[in-house]
Amino acid sequence: MINKNFLFPAIAITSVVMFSCIKKEKKENYTQSTPVIAEKGYQTDAAQNYHNYCAGCHGEKMDMFVDRQWKHGRELKDLVFGIKNGYKDEGMPAFAETFSDKETEELAQYILDGIKNVDRYNFDDKPKTNLFESDNFTIKLDTVATGIAVPWGIAFLSGGELLVTDRGGKMYRVKDRKNTEVNGVPDVVAEGQGGLLDVVTDVDYENNSIIYFSYSKGKKVNGKTLATTAVMRAKLNGNKLTDQKIIFEANPYAPTRHHYGSRLVLDKGYLYISVGERGNENQNPQSLDDNQLGKIHRIYPDGRIPANNPFKDDKGKPTTVYCYGNRNPQSLAINPSTGELWETEHGPRGGDEINIIKPGDNYGWPKVSYGINYNGKVITDKTTGPGFTDPIHYWIPSIAPSGMTFVTSDHYKGWKGNLLVGSLRFQYLNLCYLEGNKVVKEEMLLKNIGRLRDVRQGPDGFIYVAVEDAKGSVFRLRKFTP
């Protein structure tokens, strides 16, 4: 038999393969929204064997472990061979003397079902028409704009006109499929995930012409360019920005070029700003000492800080921080049914989340997570804990959510009251069917459309999506009637 030192302690919670996962009332348990192997007899024994013998190296969550490139093959026979014989030179022990042939095959099948779950997102073909089927009706895509390399944010002006940001550093007014560049945009650090990012219009835009936009702002320190998430307020006068004012600037600046966050939402006289942890999870998201990274912020639209914000500095003055422990939040939206602020954020490998944002709450990153590191190593063995606010929903594998809107329009049968979220990684639009604050079903729309960066409902009631495709497009969704 294999030396007992290779055995890892059993973990009480049994991992199950899932399409995506929703928290139960009890924090120590979780369940799947769409069971993949729930009725297969080998599930319990195979899952327990995975936890006892595999989790110490590969992580507790088998459904994240399988989201990888399989060097030695991913068929049942390949998995059986690897479990039985191991790969000594790569640190994988052999388990031929530990498991019976039946147990080995059941464990291999358990892992294979996890692989198939990931494969659900691997859509075969690129779209050949502008028509897409959904469970309720056929969707027709109208092209609103092209020629915007990485359309990041969409805002709506009067008369059917759009304001669209291009991550490369340009902003466009879009009308009748014509893009007109807006002058006066500040310099941006258009590297990695940085650049010109989200944009929203003031609630009184028709009278004051004020807009707000986020971007990666740079500064030179000892000859090196550092960057951070900043928000500018300006007036849009024709095709030019005037009266520019930086109203938010996240500290500290960092040398990295990712995890800027950068979504904006105006609600009830406040401006909410999401900021990522800039890739420094060990320092930023859990720190409240003059550190604005890995957090959601709340300010007034002119940049003032509300006195009733939940955190104070060492002098007793309120800070911009509204909540903390966030990784890379790239969606913010107000739930019109409850008035609550919802957020999506990128997990690492697995564990993308939907959160309901509450003032003062700690969302746990990196102390708790449903994901593992990109290199397969475990970040934390905890998915919940005292003092942390749990997500209401999470995705395994990661879909890389970006952009989110609640559907309130009557244009889309069966969608009203539900949530749309863009997927960057798998290039589709995710429809979350809601019952209260629970996601009870999901539907994949616009498969393989391109990296879906933003999704908004316009004042005309139609859904608009910004897509990183070959043409750099913005589309409007309509119900197709033959």
Catalytic residues: 259
Task: For residue 188, give the nearest of 242, 246, 137, 119 by alpha carbon.
Answer: 246
pLDDT in tens, 350-394: 999 999 999 999 999 999 999 988 877 889 989 999 999 999 999
pLDDT recorded at residue 43: 61
Q: How far is CA 124 from CA 121, 229, 427, in A?
A: 9, 37, 12
- Annotate 348-385 with b (16+ C-beta within 10 A) or e (fewer): bbbbbbbbbbeeebbbbbbbbbbbbeeeeebbbeebbe
pLDDT recorded at residue 59: 74
CATH topology of domain 131-479: Neuraminidase (2.120.10)
Q: How many Cα atoms are found within 13 Å in the side-chain-facing hemisphere of 169?
A: 11
pLDDT recorded at residue 194: 98
Cα three-residue angle 135-451-328, rounded to 5 degrees = 105
- Continuous segment of H or E residues that includes residue 63: helix 62-65
pLDDT recorded at residue 42: 55
Domain ranges of the chain: 4-119, 131-479
pLDDT recorded at residue 433: 98
Dihedral pair phi/psi, residue 150, rounded to 5°: -130, 85
pLDDT recorded at residue 273: 99
Segments of the chain with pLDDT less than 70:
1-43
Name the packing angle between helices 101-119 and 76-85 (round to 10°).
130
pLDDT recorded at residue 21: 41
Copy the structure tokens of residue 391: 């997500």
pLDDT recorded at residue 57: 80
Contact assessment for residue 473 and residue 146, using Cβ atoms and an 8 Å cutoff:
yes
What is 4-119's CATH number, 3.40.50, 3.30.70, 1.10.3470, 1.10.760? 1.10.760
pLDDT recorded at residue 306: 98
pLDDT recorded at residue 111: 93
**What is d(CA 212, CA 49) in angstroms, rounded to the nearest whole number?**
53
